Amino acid sequence: MKNLQIITFDQIKTFAEENIRMNFSDFEHYHRILGQDVSKLLTTYFENTALIFIPNEEILITSISKWAEHYTPKFHADLIQWFAKNSTAIDDYIEQFGYAPDTDIIQIIRAAYRWTLEMAITDVLHYIQEDITYALEQDGL
């Protein structure tokens, strides 16, 4: 039976800082998530990084939402530029959440941007957690 590894936000932050310029996103993401982005999320939105990393915990979800809101472009031109390269993200968003016919397209693009950014950082946190867990298992800890 495998030992359950307990990972803290400190361990994730350290890993991210050791890989500050590494892009942790894969091709299914619409955003680049670098180690420095993960470090900034944990440094800015968590008072106590010694906490155990629990993927679906409310504090994590809330922090990711605030982080994504902060990094979602405010200017229409930036959103349109992102949309031009990532139009399928809008389809994914509408498929997931639907839309009201009278909703402004910029609002949909902004919501899709934020949603995909939240998903990307969440996936990266899980990836880092798995990588740390694997490394600890290899070290026999």
pLDDT digits (tens, 9 = 90+) for 85-113: 999 999 999 999 998 889 999 999 999 99
Instruction: Report phi then psi at 132, rounded to 5.
Output: -65, -45
Handedness of CA 115, 32, 129, 46 (dihedral sign): negative
Q: For residues 83 and 90, what is the distance between their CA atoms, to the nearest angstrom?
A: 8
Q: Which residues contact 49 (CB under 8 A, 6 or more apart)?
A: 8, 9, 10, 13, 42, 43
pLDDT for residue 4 is more than 60: no
Q: Say what the pTM is.
A: 0.88
**What does pLDDT average to over the chain?**
89
Which pLDDT belongs to residue 99? 86
Domain boundaries, the chain: 9-139
Lowest mean pLDDT among 19-33, 75-89, 99-113: 19-33
Which pLDDT belongs to residue 1? 38
Helix spans in the chain (H): 9-18, 35-45, 58-71, 76-85, 87-97, 105-139
Q: Are the C-beta atoms of 127 and 24 separated by less than 8 Å?
A: yes
Confidence of residue 50 (pLDDT cuts 50, 70, 90): confident
